[in-house]
Amino acid sequence: MKYISILGSTGSIGTQTLDVVREQSDKITVTAISGNKNVELLKRQILEFNPELCCVMDDNNALKLKKILPSYVKTQIVSGMEGLIAVAEYEKSKTVVTAVSGMIGLKPTIAAIKKGKTIALANKETLVTGGNYIMDLSKKYKAPILPVDSEHSAIFQCLMANENKAINKILLTASGGPFRGKDEEDLKTVTVEDALKHPNWSMGKKITIDSATLMNKGLEVIEAKFLFDIEPEQIEVIVHPQSIVHSGVEFIDHSTIAQLGHPDMRIPIQFALFYPKRMENSYKSLSLSDIGSLTFEKPDLKTFKCLSLAFEALSAGGTMPAVLNASNETCVKLFLDKKISFLDIGNINEKVMLSHIPAKIDSIEAILEAEEWTKQTIKKLL
């Protein structure tokens, strides 16, 4: 039996992780979960999965949950960052699925690493902001990081039985998002509703907007650099609108291996939970003849500047990726609240990066300072 904690069980990745648990219910037990606002769903999850611990980030929502739970429920309810860390560190859990959205995932993920847990990493922001500091912690505490992000899961699978030094380049695929083929003029008038219509994946709002700006691919470039310890020049982003080829690796002998599947996050989630074993499931089989054709094109780096900014952040190093991530997080929130336009996201990210002098990251405080500096800088810019 595998015992797991899920940080962010009410979100897109969290609920799909619970789908995997339903499918493999004789092999996985959920011991601890967390949510933020969706108290009704947390109640249903507690009644179905009977976890020992549940964190509701917001104190008032935690009280609400306690009130609506039947009195026979034994699940302990905690709240705040302390509660989130308790879910991450929960002794019985050997694997922690990090499915919260944004930099809020940093502290609990580090706490889980320090307890030697296996990290099923969906929360890419942790690796983007912490980079080598997180990878070093993972080695020091023997806490393996297994990617949940479909592209990184694909690369990880392509690399099985091969060493990183045999890599020529990584082929990181991108759907292109809802605005593929549009130019800057078209993007001047797009709305939040337009940006939330992803063609292939159903995801949380933050990552859906990141997919529309191609910042998601930028964050994934940074994630791949640290996860697989490769040079940014070895990462080639390719737009592949059908989202069937999830990514690939070209080796030094010019043989290329790619991983394919339907765009269904339950597949990489299940792979991370059971690695190195493959488990049977009832999901849809891939029929390439039904799909017919797969197409590939170069990304438009001029219109979608967030992707270029990610490469620039990597070459600047130090706190720059953390600053780009924090700036983007703030901008996406402002865009969702209809306070800035779609194109402002990339423009503000660029301005913030231009005014930042990167420092070394040797502690969590250095990352949090970079985040705070970014928030203050954006306030001055607006």
Can you tell me whether residue 119 is helix, strand or coil?
Answer: strand
250 binds, among Mg ion, ligand NDP, none (CB under 5 to 8 A by kind): none
Does residue number 210 form part of the binding site for Mg ion (CB under 5 A)?
no
Nearer to ligand NDP, 42 or 250 (CB): 42
Does residue number 52 form part of the binding site for Mg ion (CB under 5 A)?
no
Q: Integer distance in angstroms from the first to the last C-alpha of the chain?
A: 52
Residue facing ligand NDP at closest CB distance: 11
Nearer to Mg ion, 43 or 240 (CB): 240
Answer for which of 52, 125, 149, 250 binds Mg ion (CB under 5 A) is 149
**What is the residue-wise DSSP string for 3-61?**
EEEEETTTSHHHHHHHHHHHHTTTTEEEEEEEESS-HHHHHHHHHHH--SEEEESSHHH
Does residue number 125 form part of the binding site for ligand NDP (CB under 6 A)?
yes
Does residue number 283 form part of the binding site for ligand NDP (CB under 6 A)?
no
Q: Among 63, 38, 42, 61, which Cα is nearest to 53's?
A: 42
218 binds, among ligand NDP, Mg ion, none (CB under 5 to 8 A by kind): none
Can you tell me whether residue 100 is helix, strand or coil?
Answer: coil
Does residue number 259 form part of the binding site for ligand NDP (CB under 6 A)?
no
**Structure token digits, residue 278:** 């493959």
Does residue number 8 form part of the binding site for ligand NDP (CB under 6 A)?
yes
Can you tell me whether residue 261 is helix, strand or coil?
Answer: coil
Does residue number 203 form part of the binding site for ligand NDP (CB under 6 A)?
yes
Tell me the one-letter amino acid at 176: G
| Smallest separation (angstroms) from ligand NDP to the CB of 247 | 12
CA distance 93 to 358: 37
311's enclosing H/E stretch is helix 305-316
| Smallest separation (angstroms) from ligand NDP to the CB of 57 | 4
Stretch that binds ligand NDP, among 35-43, 222-230, 294-302, 310-318 (CB under 6 A): 35-43
Can you tell me whether residue 98 is helix, strand or coil?
Answer: strand
The residue ranges of DSSP E strands in the chain, in sequence order, are: 2-7, 28-35, 53-56, 76-79, 95-98, 118-121, 145-147, 167-174, 235-239, 245-251, 256-260
Does residue number 319 form part of the binding site for ligand NDP (CB under 6 A)?
no
Nearer to ligand NDP, 38 or 250 (CB): 38
| Smallest separation (angstroms) from ligand NDP to the CB of 101 | 4
Question: Are 118 and 143 within 8 A, CB to CB?
Answer: yes
What is Dmax (Cα atoms) for the chain?
A: 63
Q: Among 113, 164, 152, which Cα is nearest to 134's?
A: 113
CA distance 343 to 186: 10
Answer for which of 4, 17, 21, 35 binds ligand NDP (CB under 6 A) is 35
| Smallest separation (angstroms) from Mg ion to the CB of 218 | 11
Residues 12-31: x where in contact with ligand NDP by CB under 6 A, - otherwise, as a string: xxx-----------------
Which residues here bind ligand NDP, judged by CB under 6 A? 8-14, 35-38, 57, 99-101, 104, 122-125, 149, 201, 203-207, 265
Which residues here bind Mg ion, judged by CB under 5 A? 149-151
